[in-house]
Amino acid sequence: MARNKIALIGSGQIGGTLALLAGLKELGDIVLFDVQEGVPQGKGLDIAQSSPVEGFDARISGTQSYEAIAGADVVIVTAGVPRKPGMSRDDLLEINLRVMEQVGAGISKYAPEAFVICITNPLDAMVWALQKFSGLPASQVVGMAGVLDSARFRYFLAEELGVSVEDVTAFVLGGHGDTMVPLTRYSTVAGIPLPDLVKMGWLDGKRLDEIVQRTRDGGAEIVGLLKTGSAFYAPAASAIAMAESYLRDKKRVLPAAAYLQGEYGLDGIYVGVPVVIGAGGVEKVVEIELDRAERQMFQKSVDSVEGLIAACRKIQPSL
Ligand code: TXD
């Protein structure tokens, strides 16, 4: 069987980590793309030189040309610029929207069959724009945020309770960042919902609220520590889990920014919901019951995504 091909558009902090993880997991051959000359080539060569030590076989190459992504099975997009001092959120939106336009055209021309995972911020709006620019079916284009947000939630809970991260599941909905909605009653330790753990006296209710807030601020906490960039190990690991579910048809149920067509009473926007990812891409959007408070939080999140989409449309009315 021929190896799969994974194209990474953007070879910065997350892109490089994605290449290393995809190599270590032998997901396939890897093409790193970036506008910065030498960077994808250098990172590719460096990772390739780790393969004899780690014992994995993969062709890893770097490129400035979209042609090199031809026939990719999976494309993971991290291309974009970070927000710099003096740059407003709208400035950032406009620059990254232009980047999505280029990336969408490249994918549409050379890898129209690929499963596309977008990571670039502002996530929910960028994945929406990328799907439009690429013209790929919405089931083939998805955004990564929920796996990361729920991983942070799981890690904090496991640490608090002194249990294995493997036995903690967490459920998050909504947009990435401040407006994410951690659903505590659907989050469990070995199947026991968090509110029951509070009742049992294993978890303090106030501590749980603090952990929820820390999860919401998870990205900012890391930016505050790193000072020169944002998180990249856990974001890369999260996108790799999604790619793996697609390539191996695992049909994992993962939170992801998916295109809604009537689900949750929404139409035509991307927002974080649980989905099944398998060989057919996003094979199913899982629609769960929300109580009043959860619905309100979800709506706040949807409003902020809709605001970003409106801002994109203002910049590019044809979208
Ligand atoms: O959960 C999530 N979705 C996120 C999102 C979690 C963490 C970080 N998140 C966002 O991912 C972050 O705000 C950024 O928008 C992306 C990528 O983060 P990373 O830390 O990898 O950023 P880098 O190191 O700046 O890498 C971006 C690369 C860089 O090498 C640029 O040269 C390149 O993108 N770039 C481009 N590549 C291709 N094509 C174009 N036009 C282009 N412009 C810049």
Q: What angle do CA 108, 236, 94 make, to 5 degrees?
A: 50
- 77 CA to centre of ligand 1 in angstroms: 8
**38-42, 58-62, 106-110, 182-186: the lowest-pLDDT one:** 182-186
Between the CA of residue 159 and those of 150, 153, 172, 221, 261, what are the distances in Å? 14, 10, 18, 17, 38
Using pLDDT thresholds of 50, 70 and 90, give the confidence band for residue 296.
Answer: very high
Both structure tokens of 111: 């890898």
Per-residue pLDDT tens digits for 212-234: 999 999 999 999 999 998 999 99
Is 85 a residue whose pLDDT tops 90?
Answer: no
Amino acid occupying residue 165: V
ipTM of predicted complex: 0.99
Is 122's C-beta closer than 6 angstroms to any atom of ligand 1?
Answer: no
Is 83 a residue whose pLDDT tops 80?
Answer: no
Is 229's C-beta closer than 6 angstroms to any atom of ligand 1?
Answer: yes
* Dist CA 126 CA 312 (whole Å): 9
Torsion, CA 144, CA 219, CA 31, CA 255, rounded to 10: -20
Is 27's C-beta closer than 6 angstroms to any atom of ligand 1?
Answer: no
Identify the DSSP state of 265: G
Both structure tokens of 162: 């002194």
Amino acid occupying residue 109: K
Both structure tokens of 27: 């997901």
Of all protein residues, the one whose alpha carbon is nearest to atom 16 of ligand 1 is: 120
* Dist CA 271 CA 318 (whole Å): 21
Ligand 1 mutation target, pool 35, 117, 144, 221, most atoms within 8 A of CB:
35
Lookup result for tokens 């603090």: 210
pTM here?
0.98
Catalytic residue numbers, as ranges: 176
Using pLDDT thresholds of 50, 70 and 90, give the confidence band for residue 272.
Answer: very high
Amino acid occupying residue 188: T
Per-residue pLDDT tens digits for 103-150: 999 999 999 999 999 999 999 999 999 999 999 999 999 999 999 999
Is 121's C-beta closer than 6 angstroms to any atom of ligand 1?
Answer: yes
